[in-house]
Amino acid sequence: QLLTQAKAGAKVLRYVACLSIRNGSVRADVSLQQVSAGHALAAIAPCDNVFVIRSDWYNDNPLVLKGPGAGKVVTAGGLHTDLAVLVNQLTGKTKLPAVLT
């Protein structure tokens, strides 16, 4: 039903996570929402993450950050980096973090 409504309104469905901080109060929410075809969240690749940042300075024209957030290449790159750091730590080239000593 939500998909039918979205299509009828020329919109797409996206899972949207929102974090808002107002007057020292923090609220987090994740929900399935309808977004217009021109929205930054509408045209994303399956493994992309998009952050739309609104603030006092970026309200009318929000700051948008977009890039890979998961997927084979990003995950492999992260694992490779973690392994390289671990090898350097174990061979004494760098010190282990305090939590591991």
In the CATH hierarchy, which top-level class contains the domain 1-69? alpha beta
| pLDDT band, residue 8 (cuts 50/70/90) | very high
pLDDT tens by residue, 63-98: 998 888 777 887 788 888 888 888 887 787 776 566
Residues 6 or more apart whose Cβ sits within 8 Å of residue 23: none
Q: What is the pTM of this model?
A: 0.62
The reported pLDDT for the residue numbered 73 is: 81
Determine the average pLDDT of the residues in 21-35: 91
Residue boundaries of the structural domains of the chain: 1-69, 71-101
Do 37 and 12 form a contact (C-beta atoms < 8 A)?
Answer: yes
pLDDT tens by residue, 53-66: 888 888 899 999 88
What is d(CA 72, CA 75) in angstroms, rounded to the nearest whole number? 5
